[in-house]
């Protein structure tokens, strides 16, 4: 059972148990074991941590017969209950929705638990899907950001093709993925395998289904021309259409409105399903801090403490970190959020105990992009390779991730189960 919030202690409140926050809470509670005046409180509106990197697999997971048990298994495959990770630690988990942050009063307000004061605050509330206020998009599209989004997509595909089969409909069916970044590309490449399986189950010809990726930028993925060219080639092999430098301007009556970047060449692309992966924005709660970076994130120093808010630390998608090596802002990636956690935990501990602070130095270990089934690309700086071995690398990373949060046997069991679900449509 969870430890309760102890009002007599000084609180280090960690907002959000995602890639960064959960790890901060785990590491910090260990470091502060001998400091009984302090209590680490991890807060999340959900009771589970999400490993988002494999969400595209959830959205395209195939089961010959979909039952409640399958859906439970699916949703549990890339989520870990917070109590499993924090078991045995002296940190307190509070399942509640943060409604506001008041820096001058040093308090956080929750939907159910009222106001809790903090000595230190860690802001790791992540990002939300950005629909850019485009008419019809938010109301009619499927985002892919949360476990519920992934499950909703999977179920919608099942339901759509079951209905078409029952009504014997064989007209062309268009799926458009809005956004050709990491998430959009990985998801799109997994659709053909899913459709192939569904076509056998619901007796239709897979050529009835057309998948198109619409990318605003000039290249797919956003890791340079070489990765983009390889991705376009893979799209071709999988029968996926793709357009770059194309702006989505609205969505209505199963038609996506698009134009060139300069607003010319307005046209429509048929889309019975629109999957929206075209952007994120920082959690709206960050607006409770009056001074923010232009990106909407908290400016941070090299030790990840907020520039304008002493004793507030930010990480992951909430921190505006300048990368001195590449002379640009760091991208919003789970890999980097994970790296930032030990630095934040160390620096809060160091502040309390009078030890030396550490600077965060980003490490780019390369990107592994899934392009359908067991075909993966690995990209690091100027080096790009592709194929089956990259799939093994990615699966190894999945295991490392689970193992870093769970005991060995639990992590192994979870990983094995997860991989078995994912290979069903490869
Ligand atoms: C589909 C998808 C695939 C991705 N794939 C990769 C990948 O392969 N590699 C990679 O490096 N990155 C990937 N990313 C990016 C990565 O997931 C994010 O960069 C990372 O999750 C950011 O970590 P974080 O700790 O800042 O926030 P998150 O991990 O998003 O965690 C935020 C937490 O805050 C909680 N929260 C939010 N609002 C509230 C509130 N009001 N009250 C209480 N709790 C709240 C949420 O429930 C959540 O648990 C992917 C993202 C998506 C959506």
Q: Quick one: CA dihedral 348, 340, 292, 113, positive or negative?
A: negative
Residues 28-42 have pLDDT tens digits of 999 999 999 999 999
User: Is it the case that residue 163 has pLDDT exceeding 80?
Assistant: yes
Reference 213, options 133, 273, 135; nearest CA is 273
**DSSP summary character for residue 5:** P
Please report the pLDDT score of residue 293 as a whole number. 97
Average pLDDT over residues 114-122: 97
Beta strands in 171-330 (DSSP E): 173-178, 209-214, 240-243, 246-252, 255-260, 267-270, 273-276, 280-282, 298-299, 312-314, 319-320, 322-323, 328-329
Give yes or no for a contact between 177 and 188, defined as CB atoms under 8 angstroms apart: yes
Q: Which atom of ligand 1 is nearest to the CA of 146?
A: 53
User: pTM for this one?
Assistant: 0.95
Q: What is the DSSP string of 184-198?
A: HHHHHHHHHHHHHHH
pLDDT at 426 over 80: no
pLDDT score of 124 more than 70: yes
pLDDT score for 416? 93
pLDDT of residue 101: 98
Closest CA to 152 of 75, 54, 49: 75
| pLDDT higher than threshold 50 for residue 1 | no
Pick the closest to residue 272 from 142, 144, 129, 130 (CA basis): 142
Which pLDDT band holds residue 2 (cuts at 50, 70, 90)?
low
pLDDT tens by residue, 144-154: 999 999 999 99
Distance 318 CA to ligand 1 centre (A): 10
pLDDT recorded at residue 3: 66
Tokens of 225: 């021309």
C-alpha to C-alpha distance for 1 and 284, rounded to whole angstroms: 31
Q: Which domains does the chain have, with CATH numbers?
A: 10-129+281-364 (3.50.50.60), 137-278 (3.50.50.60), 366-426 (no CATH)
Measured from the Cα of 145, ligand 1's closest atom is 53
List pLDDT tens digits, range 207-247: 999 999 999 999 999 999 999 999 999 999 999 999 999 99
Q: Phi, psi (5° rounding) for residue 219?
A: -130, 155
Q: Which atom of ligand 1 is nearest to the CA of 319?
A: 26
CB 242 within 8 Å of CB 207: no
Q: How far is CA 49 from CA 22, 46, 110, 183, 327, in A?
A: 8, 8, 19, 19, 32
Q: Residue 294's CB: how many other CB atoms inside 10 A?
A: 8
pLDDT in tens, 296-350: 999 999 999 999 999 999 999 999 999 988 899 999 999 999 999 999 999 999 9
Q: Which range, of 98-102, 123-127, 370-374, averages the lowest pLDDT?
A: 370-374
CB 191 within 8 A of CB 175: yes
Residue identifier of the C-alpha nearest atom 4 of ligand 1: 53
Helical (H) or strand (E) element with 233: helix 225-238
Structure tokens at 374: 């067991």
């Amino acid at each position: 059972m969870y430890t309760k919030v102890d009002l007599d202690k000084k609180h280090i409140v960690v907002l959000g148990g995602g890639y960064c926050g959960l790890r901060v809470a785990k590491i910090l509670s260990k470091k502060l074991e001998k400091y009984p005046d302090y209590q680490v409180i991890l807060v999340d509106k959900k009771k589970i941590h999400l490993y988002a990197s494999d969400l595209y697999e959830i959205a395209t997971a195939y089961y010959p017969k979909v039952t409640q048990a399958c859906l439970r298994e699916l949703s549990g495959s890339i989520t870990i209950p917070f109590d499993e990770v924090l078991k045995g630690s002296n940190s307190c988990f509070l399942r509640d929705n943060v409604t506001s942050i008041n820096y001058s009063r040093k308090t956080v307000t929750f939907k159910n638990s009222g106001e809790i004061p903090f000595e230190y605050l860690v802001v790791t509330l992540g990002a939300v899907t950005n629909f850019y206020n485009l008419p019809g998009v938010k109301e009619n599209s499927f985002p892919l950001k949360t476990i519920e989004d992934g499950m909703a997509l999977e179920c919608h595909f099942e339901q759509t093709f079951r209905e078409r089969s029952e009504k014997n409909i064989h007209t062309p069916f268009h799926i458009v993925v809005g956004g050709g970044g990491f998430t959009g590309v990985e998801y799109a490449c997994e659709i053909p395998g899913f459709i192939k399986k569904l076509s056998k189950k619901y007796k239709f010809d897979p050529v009835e289904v057309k998948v198109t990726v619409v990318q605003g930028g000039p290249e797919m993925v956003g890791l340079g021309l070489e990765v983009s060219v390889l991705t376009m080639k893979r799209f071709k092999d999988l029968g996926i259409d793709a357009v770059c430098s194309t702006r989505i301007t609205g969505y209505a009556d199963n038609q996506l409105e698009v134009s060139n970047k300069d607003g010319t060449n307005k046209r429509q692309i048929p889309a019975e399903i629109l999957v929206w992966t075209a952007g994120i924005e920082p959690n709206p709660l960050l607006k409770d801090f009056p001074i923010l970076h232009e990106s909407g994130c908290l400016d941070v120093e090299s030790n990840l403490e907020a520039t304008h808010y002493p004793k507030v630390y930010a990480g992951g998608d909430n921190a505006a970190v300048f990368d001195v090596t590449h002379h640009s802002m760091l991208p919003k990636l789970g890999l980097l959020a994970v790296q930032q956690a030990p630095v934040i935990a160390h620096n809060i501990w160091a502040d309390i105990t009078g030890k030396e602070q550490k600077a965060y130095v980003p490490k780019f270990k390369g990107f592994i992009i899934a392009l359908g089934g067991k075909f993966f690309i690995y990209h690091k700086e100027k080096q790009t390779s592709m194929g089956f071995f990259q799939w093994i690398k990615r699966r190894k990373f999945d295991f490392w991730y689970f193992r870093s949060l769970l005991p060995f046997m639990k992590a192994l069991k979870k990983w094995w189960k997860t991989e078995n679900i994912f290979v069903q449509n490869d």
